[in-house]
Structure 1
C-alpha cells in the first residue's frame, strides 16, 4: 500500500475507507512479523541454554537466515510506503570505492499537462546495490616472431611463467579457488559444479592439482610468516583436531592444526596481528616443542599439559587463560545452579570489567590499573576459593573448577606482573573458529599433505583478515608476483600487513 501525501483524495468517505484498509494491513503485517520475531528470540535463547539443548551454530545461522527471509517476504508482500517529502536517509551509505553506473529516468516531454513549459528545479538521486555475476574469460597471449635476413636468427618475447606448469589457470583463478576452499569453505567438487554452470567443465582432480601447485608457490611465504610470528616475545597458542583420511584403515585419523597467534592490539604494540597454522599428525608435546624451539617470552595457553615442558629452560613463561577457568564455573552454574558458582562468575566478571577499560592502553597504564584494582580482586578470589574448597565434596564439579584455577594460579596472575599479558587466549580461539567451520564443510583432509596445505593457505588468509586485507586480492597479486620472479630475499614485502601498506601508497 503506497500513499502519496501530496495527492490524497478529498472525499471523506474514501479517506475513511483508505484508513481502515491501511489499519487492517498494518495489523495483519505486524502480527505475522511479531510471530516470526518470537521464533527468532526462542532460537537465540537456544544459544545460551544448557549444552545438551543448544543448537549447532551453523544450524542456528541457517534457521535465522530463513526466518529473516520470511520477515522480508511479509514486508515485501504488504509494503506500507508513505511518500513524504525529503525524508532523511537512515541507511549507511554504500561504499565509495564501488563503481557506479548512472541511469537517467526523465519525463517524456518538456511540456506540462496544462500546456506550460517545464524548467529544471533540481533532481532526485537514489542508489541501489547491484550484483554483477562472476564470469570466466580467456586470456589470449600473442607473441610475434621476427626473423633476421642477415643471420637467419629468430627473435620472440619469452613466454610468461605459468603458476601451474602447462596449466590453464591464471594467478587470479587460482586465488579464487583457494579462497573458495579455505576461506568460504566450498569443497572442490562443489566448485567444479559451479564452474560447470558457467559453461566450463573442470574436474575435481584438475582443481585439486591447481591447489597443490598454488600451495607450492606459497610455502615460502608461509615459512617467512612463521619466522616473523615466532620472533615475537608474546604469543597465543592452541590446537584443534583435523580429521585426516587414512586409506590403509579405511577411515579417518585425527591430525592437529597447531595455531600460534600474535595480537598486540590490546596494548597498542608495534607488531601487526598475525596467525600461523602448522599441521601435525598428532597432539604429542614434542610438536609445540619443535615449533617453539627458538621462542622466548610469554606464551598464552589453555590447560594442555604439554605446554609445561616449554618452561624447562626458563626462556618461556606461561600465561593461563581466565576464559577457560570461567568456563569451568559456568558449566557448574548451568548444571547445578549453585550460588557459589555464580559468585565465582561474578568475581571473574569484575576482572574483565577492568580489562575493558584499559584495552588499547600502554602496558604501563594497564599494569598500574591492574595493580590498583585487579590485584585486590584476584587476592580476594583466591582466599575465597581456599576457604570454600575444604567445605565442598572432593569429587564435585565445583571443587574441580576451584582446583583447576588454584593449580594454575601463577599463570592466571601473570597479567598482574606484565601489562602486555592478556587475561585469556581469545585471539587464538578466534583464529581456530574458521578451521572448525571448514572442518564441517570439508569433512576431512584427504592426506597429511592436505593438512599441510590447509595450514599454509589458512595462515595467509587469517592474517589477511586480521589486517583488514581482502584475501582474494592479496593472493591473486602475490601469486602473480611470485610467478614473475619476486626475489626470495624480499618476501617481507609480501607479508599481508606490508602488502596492505604498499597498496595504500600506490593509491
Structure 2
C-alpha cells in the first residue's frame, strides 16, 4: 500500500506536462495528499455548502423584503399623490371587448333638458325700480316716449349682503303725572335682552363666530381678518373670553344629547386624533382623541386624552338598553368593549375589508386579479343587501317579512356561504410549515385569516337588516371635525377642546334632523339672553326629538331677519 505521505514524482508530473498521454476513458489522474489535509478540505466543503445555502436564503429574503418595500412605496405614493378614492379598475375591466362605445361622460349630457331655475321661496324679496337714465326719444324723429307708469318683464338677481353695524338703542323715558308717594318720578324703557351684559357684541356676532369655527371649520384668525375688513376689528382675547362664557350655556344641551343617546340601541363609532396644546399632569404629548358616537337621533362627540377601551366602556356604562349593536371598524378597543360588556354586539365594517383587498392590489400588482375577484364578491353582497332592504319592514321580524324580502334574504345567505367556503378552502389548502411562506401568499393569508376571525361581526347585518354593512355614517359624522383639525390644528386648551366636541355634537345633531343651524342657534342664544345670560329652564323647545312638527318645520327654514 502506498503511504499517504508519498507525493507524486517530479518525473511523472514532467511527463504529464510535456506530452500527451492517452488514458482510458474511465481513468483519472490521482493525486496523493496527506489525510489531515483531505479531512480539512472535506470539512471546508461542508462549511461552504452551508454558507452558500444561507446566502441563497438570505438573498431570497432580501428579494422578498425589496418586493414588500416596493409595495409600501406604491401604497404611500398612491395615498400622497393618487386620487382620494378607493375606486380602482383592474386591467381586465379597463377594456370591454364586447362594446366599442365611448364611455359616457359624467354630469348632465349635452343637449339634454335642464331642470331650469331653482325656486327659492324662503328668500325675502326686495323690489327695485329700474328706470331710464334719461328720457328716451325716438332715434328717427327725436320725439320723446310717453312714460305711462307701466312695467315690463321682471328680472331676478340673487344677492348676499354681509355688513356690520352698531345698534344705537335710544330708551324712551316717562315722567309721572300723579302725586303718589314711593313711585319714581321718571322711568326708562328696559334694555333689550343681552347675551353677555358687559359685552358690546350682540347675539348675531357670537352666532356667526360659533358657526364659522365649529360648523364651517374656519380658523378664528381668518374670521377676525374678515371682520376687520368689514370695519369691525376684534381682538383674539375677546373671542376667547366670550367662547368660555358660551360654553356654560351649551352644557345643558350637550348633557341632554348624551342622555337621549343612552336610550337608543344602534350606534356607529369612530375616533380621530385631536391636538390639545396644554400640558396636563400625567399626559405625555399633545395628542388627544376625538370620539364620535352616532345613533338614530343624536351625534355625540367626546374628547379624551387616550384611545384605549376605557373611553367607550365609560361611555356606555349608563345605557338603558339590554342589547346594543355597535357598527365599527376592527380596532382592538371595540373588541375589549364587547368583552367587558357582553350585551354589546359588534358589527364590523365591510368597507374596511374591501379596503384590505384594494390595498393588496395596489401594493402587489401580481395580486390584482385575485384582489379584484374578492372586491367583486363584496360588491355583489352590497347589491343583494340593497335590494333586500328595499322591501324590509322595520316593524316586522325577519321571519315575517314579505316574499320579496325572503327571496333576497336567501340569496344573501347563499352568497355569504360561498365566500366563507372560498376563504376556508384557501386557508386549509395551504400549510404554514415554510413551503408556502412567500410574500404574496402571506399577503393573501393575512387578509383571509382576518376575514375569518371577524366573520361573526361581519355577518350581523344578515339577521339585522336595519344595520348597515359599513360604518360610513360614523366616518361621515367625523369628517367635518377632521377638516377643522386640519384648518386650525386642534385646540389651545382642554376647555376649548371640550367646547369643540360640544359644538360638533350640537351642529351634527341639528343636521341629522334637517334643522337650519343659523336659525336654531339664534333662537337658543336669544332664549339665553331673555334668561339673563343663562341657559333656559325648559329645553324642550331646542331638543329636536321633543319638538312638534310645527316647530321642526319652522326651525328647518332660514332665519327671517327682515
TM beyond 0.5: yes
| Alignment partner, residue 262 of structure 1 | 295
Q: Distance in 2 between matches of 1:416 and 1:340?
A: 25
User: Given that residues 249 and 535 in structure 2 are in contact (C-alpha distance below 8 angstroms), is that contact kept between their aligned partners in structure 1?
Assistant: no
Q: Distance in 1 between matches of 2:165 and 2:332?
A: 51
| Alignment partner, residue 301 of structure 1 | 328
Q: 1:471 to 1:426 in 2, by over 3 A?
A: same
Q: Please state how far the C-alpha of 1:52 moved relative to its aligned partner.
A: 3.9
User: Given that residues 146 and 156 in structure 1 are in contact (C-alpha distance below 8 angstroms), is that contact kept between their aligned partners in structure 2?
Assistant: no
Q: Please state how far the C-alpha of 1:300 moved relative to its aligned partner.
A: 1.0
Q: Please state how far the C-alpha of 1:225 moved relative to its aligned partner.
A: 1.2
Q: Please state how far the C-alpha of 1:318 moved relative to its aligned partner.
A: 1.2
| Alignment partner, residue 118 of structure 2 | 93
Q: How does 1:43-122 map to 2 (within 5 A)?
A: 50-54=78-82, 91-105=116-130, 109=136
Q: Please state how far the C-alpha of 1:394 moved relative to its aligned partner.
A: 7.7
User: Given that residues 254 and 506 in structure 2 are in contact (C-alpha distance below 8 angstroms), is that contact kept between their aligned partners in structure 1?
Assistant: yes
Q: 1:133 to 1:383 in 2, by over 3 A?
A: same
- Given candidates 240, 261, 277, the residue that maps to 1:208 is 240
Q: 1:322 to 1:191 in 2, by over 3 A?
A: same
Q: How does 1:207-226 map to 2 (within 5 A)?
A: 207-226=239-258
- Given candidates 411, 432, 439, the residue that maps to 2:478 is 432
Q: 1:209 to 1:397 in 2, by over 3 A?
A: farther
Q: Say if 2:155 is the partner of 1:126.
A: yes
- Given candidates 371, 378, 384, the residue that maps to 2:416 is 378
Q: Please state how far the C-alpha of 1:165 moved relative to its aligned partner.
A: 4.1
Two-structure CA RMSD over aligned residues (Å): 3.5
Q: Distance in 2 between matches of 1:141 and 1:397?
A: 76
- Given candidates 301, 318, 340, the residue that maps to 2:346 is 318
Q: Say if 2:491 is the partner of 1:445.
A: yes
Q: Distance in 2 between matches of 1:172 and 1:499?
A: 26
Q: 1:378 to 1:481 in 2, by over 3 A?
A: same
In the superposition, the TM-score normalised over structure 2's length comes to 0.67
Greater displacement, 375-384 / 497-506? 497-506
Q: 1:165 to 1:100 in 2, by over 3 A?
A: closer
| Alignment partner, residue 85 of structure 1 | none
- Given candidates 173, 193, 205, the residue that maps to 2:225 is 193
| Alignment partner, residue 444 of structure 2 | 398
| Alignment partner, residue 393 of structure 2 | 362
Helix, strand or coil: the match of 2:478? helix
User: Given that residues 277 and 455 in structure 1 are in contact (C-alpha distance below 8 angstroms), is that contact kept between their aligned partners in structure 2?
Assistant: yes
Q: 1:209 to 1:368 in 2, by over 3 A?
A: farther
Q: Please state how far the C-alpha of 1:111 moved relative to its aligned partner.
A: 6.6
Name structure 1 gaps, 5 residues minimum: 1-46, 58-87, 264-272
- Given candidates 319, 326, 330, the residue that maps to 2:358 is 330
Q: Please state how far the C-alpha of 1:397 moved relative to its aligned partner.
A: 2.8
Deviations 1:445-475, CA, capped at 9 Å, x for gaps: 1112111100110111111222222212211
Q: 1:116 to 1:228 in 2, by over 3 A?
A: same
Q: Distance in 2 between matches of 1:480 and 1:421?
A: 39
Q: 1:462 to 1:136 in 2, by over 3 A?
A: farther
In the superposition, the TM-score normalised over structure 1's length comes to 0.74
Deviations 1:204-248, CA, capped at 9 Å, x for gaps: 110111122112101110110111123111111111110111357
Q: Please state how far the C-alpha of 1:356 moved relative to its aligned partner.
A: 3.1
Q: Distance in 2 between matches of 1:469 and 1:424?
A: 26
| Alignment partner, residue 42 of structure 1 | none
Q: Say if 2:294 is the partner of 1:229.
A: no
Greater displacement, 419-428 / 388-397? 388-397
Deviations 1:141-190, CA, capped at 9 Å, x for gaps: 62646667532333556655532241122222211100011111222222
User: Given that residues 322 and 424 in structure 1 are in contact (C-alpha distance below 8 angstroms), is that contact kept between their aligned partners in structure 2?
Assistant: yes
Q: Please state how far the C-alpha of 1:106 moved relative to its aligned partner.
A: 6.4
User: Given that residues 50 and 335 in structure 1 are in contact (C-alpha distance below 8 angstroms), is that contact kept between their aligned partners in structure 2?
Assistant: no
Q: Which has the larger radius of gyration?
A: 2
- Given candidates 351, 358, 366, the residue that maps to 2:381 is 351
| Alignment partner, residue 253 of structure 1 | 286
Q: How does 1:130-209 map to 2 (within 5 A)?
A: 130-138=159-167, 140=169, 142=171, 144=173, 149-154=179-184, 159=191, 161-209=193-241
Q: Distance in 1 between matches of 2:310 and 2:275?
A: 20
| Alignment partner, residue 94 of structure 2 | none
User: Given that residues 135 and 198 in structure 1 are in contact (C-alpha distance below 8 angstroms), is that contact kept between their aligned partners in structure 2?
Assistant: yes
Helix, strand or coil: the match of 1:293? helix
Q: 1:281 to 1:246 in 2, by over 3 A?
A: same
Name structure 2 gaps, 5 residues minimum: 1-74, 86-112, 431-435, 558-562
| Alignment partner, residue 540 of structure 2 | 492
Q: Please state how far the C-alpha of 1:194 moved relative to its aligned partner.
A: 1.5
User: Given that residues 207 and 521 in structure 2 are in contact (C-alpha distance below 8 angstroms), is that contact kept between their aligned partners in structure 1?
Assistant: yes
Q: Say if 2:293 is the partner of 1:275.
A: no
Q: 1:116 to 1:492 in 2, by over 3 A?
A: closer
Q: Distance in 1 between matches of 2:377 and 2:80?
A: 26
Q: 1:129 to 1:156 in 2, by over 3 A?
A: closer
Q: 1:347 to 1:93 in 2, by over 3 A?
A: same
User: Given that residues 474 and 496 in structure 1 are in contact (C-alpha distance below 8 angstroms), is that contact kept between their aligned partners in structure 2?
Assistant: no
Q: Please state how far the C-alpha of 1:277 moved relative to its aligned partner.
A: 0.5
Q: Please state how far the C-alpha of 1:399 moved relative to its aligned partner.
A: 2.0
Q: Please state how far the C-alpha of 1:443 moved relative to its aligned partner.
A: 1.0
Q: Please state how far the C-alpha of 1:410 moved relative to its aligned partner.
A: 0.8
Deviations 1:416-451, CA, capped at 9 Å, x for gaps: 111221111111100010011000111121112111
